[in-house]
Amino acid sequence: MLEDILSIDFTPFVLSFKLAFITTLILFVVSLPLAWWLSQTASKTKPFIEALTALPIVLPPSVLGFYILVALSKNSPIGAFFERVFNIDLVFSFGGLVVASCFYSLPFMVQPLQSGFESLNKNMLEASYISGKGVIETILKVAIPNIKPSLLTALIVTFAHTVGEFGVVLMVGGSIPGETKVASVAIYEMVEMMDYKSAHIYSAIMVFISFLTLLGVYLFNRKIKKIGF
Amino acid sequence: MVFIDIGKKLHGIGGEMELKVSLSIKRGEFLVVTGKSGSGKTTFLRILAGLERGGGVIEVDGEIWQNEKVFLKPQKREIGFVFQDYALFPNMSVLGNLLYVRNDIPLARRLLEITDLLDLSDRLPATLSGGQKQRVALCRALMKRPKLLLMDEPLSALDMDMRIKLQKEISLLHKEFKTTTIMVSHDPSEIYRLADRVVVLEFGEIIKEGSAKELFLKESDKKLFFWGEVLDILKREGESRAVVFVEGKIVLIPISKERVSDLQIGRKIKIGVDASTLFIA
């Protein structure tokens, strides 16, 4: 049993976590201004942007994967642009997976941040403006430190959700070992090849890590609630 | 010198109304704005702070804050603002809240000393009482050495004792820093204690203006009212008198002819006293 565990190829896990890490980082930077804007605006376009952002939650991963695949292929202007300027092929490559994951996990970053920002006392933000501070300084020094639970939820859930994705990854990345074969895809292949023993071990590891991560979030949020901020 | 002449259409509880305020305020003056809720007081302060857009002119010590061409953002207006709900930064200590505005430790310490908060410098706002929080907010508003201090019902969430304590501190700080101040308040004793001048707003317009003395003391028909319960009605020689339980005492009150028919035993009634007949016990 121990030998079985030790002999596992951990590359798919490393790939999964690398993908999740990069995706979370990119999404954090992109979503912060978007979530802030959504939380403060009275613009009529807000519901449209919100609906657009939430789309990946309801769309079947195959639909999302299909459109991303079409958009990134060399026949589309986007794919052609990336190939000409950066000389990278985004289809069936790690880079393509990152792009796909960013779309797929966007709502999981934007929504908690937005609701965190919305829950802040408006007078407190105004007090910061009156103190002479601009929007960026207010976000960094007042808004973010006071939405720690939402911030942590956004980061962790985005990370976990990216680790857990399957359909989009399979469609956009395929299953190239060491390049696009992430843990979820590896498990799918094992089951297909009736290698149940490896599938069991991989799946158990996924359950274990996911549970620990979520437990960490909830424990932290409980502690934060007790302190008061 | 502060010169204000502003206007804005408001959608209040009683339909549309137009906020139209024209005022000039001397340097160092303590002005109180009072009036029924929905009369536009808070909007008036928010327009002065640049938190809401309103048409018209605001000029402070010769500097234009807004007119047809100029509109300074809240960041550029030299104001302090004290909110009713304190609006402190929960992630910063008492001292941190002050230094966030301006990194001036001597001034911060002096303000905290005047308001008796020096011992609480390192505490987080969540661990303070309401009165302490509002004192921190007051100090924070003065950290920029503002040309105009705006306070929106700063004491209305506090109990009576705390209000009186804070009124004294506001007065102390006003004497020390001589900041031109506009405060919204409903409490007559507070207004009397603090205001150099009072402005009464109704439906967005100034309906009365003057010193607290002029406004509160010169009104001719000053009456005090109490609630009482009719215990009995006595009739003798065509005259009726009611036995009334009021303020813990039983008293006999003559009933005028017009009221005889609608007075019944057990009813709650309102009793009036002319203020001129009062004496100090």
Of B157 and A128, the structure prediction assigns the larger pLDDT to A128
Q: Check CB contact under 8 Å for A145 and B124.
A: no
- The one-letter amino acid code at B223 reads K
Q: Which residue has the tokens 């230094």?
A: B99
Q: Is B281 on the interface with A (CB under 8 A)?
A: no
Residue B98 predicted with pLDDT over 90 = yes
Calculate how close chain B gets to A137, using CA atoms only, in Å. 11
Residue-wise pLDDT tens digits, A74-100:
888 888 888 888 877 788 889 889 999
Q: Check CB contact under 8 Å for B140 and A131.
A: yes
Q: Is B53 on the interface with A (CB under 8 A)?
A: no
For A127, the closest of B77, B87, B126 (CB atoms) is: B87
Name the residue ranges covered by the structural domains of chain A: 2-227
Residue B13 predicted with pLDDT over 70 = no
What's the pLDDT band for B58 if we cut at 50, 70, 90?
Answer: very high
Q: Is A77 on the interface with B (CB under 8 A)?
A: no
Of A10 and B4, the structure prediction assigns the larger pLDDT to B4
Q: Check CB contact under 8 Å for B74 and A123.
A: no
Residue B12 predicted with pLDDT over 70 = no
Classify residue B199 as exposed, middle or buried by CB count within 10 Å of its CB (0-12, 13-18, 19+).
Answer: buried
Closest C-alpha to B137, from A226, B150, A117? B150
Q: Is B98 on the interface with A (CB under 8 A)?
A: no
Residue A176 predicted with pLDDT over 90 = no
Residue-wise pLDDT tens digits, B218-234:
665 578 888 889 898 88
| Residues ≥6 apart with Cβ < 8 Å to B278 | B224
Residue from B43, B89, B98 to probe the interface with A (highest A Cβ count within 10 Å): B89
CA torsion sign for B89, B40, B37, B174 is positive
Q: Check CB contact under 8 Å for B74 and A130.
A: yes
Buried b (16+ CB within 10 A) or exposed e, A52-80: ebeebeebebeebbbebbebbbeeeeebe
- B88: which chain A residues are within 8 Å (Cβ-Cβ)? 124, 127
What's the pLDDT band for A226 if we cut at 50, 70, 90?
Answer: low
- B77: which chain A residues are within 8 Å (Cβ-Cβ)? 130
Question: What pLDDT is recorded for position A180?
Answer: 86
Question: What pLDDT is recorded for position A72?
Answer: 87
Question: What pLDDT is recorded for position B11?
Answer: 80
Question: What pLDDT is recorded for position B59?
Answer: 94
Q: Is A145 on the interface with B (CB under 8 A)?
A: yes
**Average pLDDT over chain A, rounded to an integer:** 89
The CATH superfamily label for domain A2-227 reads: MetI-like (1.10.3720.10)
Asked whether B195 and B31 are in contact (CB, 8 A), the reply is yes
* Closest residue in A to B52 (Cα–Cα): A126
Classify residue B5 as exposed, middle or buried by CB count within 10 Å of its CB (0-12, 13-18, 19+).
Answer: middle
Q: Which domains does chain B have, with CATH numbers?
A: 2-217 (3.40.50.300), 223-277 (2.40.50)
Q: Check CB contact under 8 Å for B89 and A130.
A: no
pTM of the predicted model over 0.80? yes
Closest C-alpha to A128, from A114, A115, A144, A116? A144
Residue B36 predicted with pLDDT over 80 = yes
Lowest mean pLDDT among A124-128, B55-59, B133-137, B222-226: B222-226
* Closest residue in B to A132 (Cα–Cα): B75
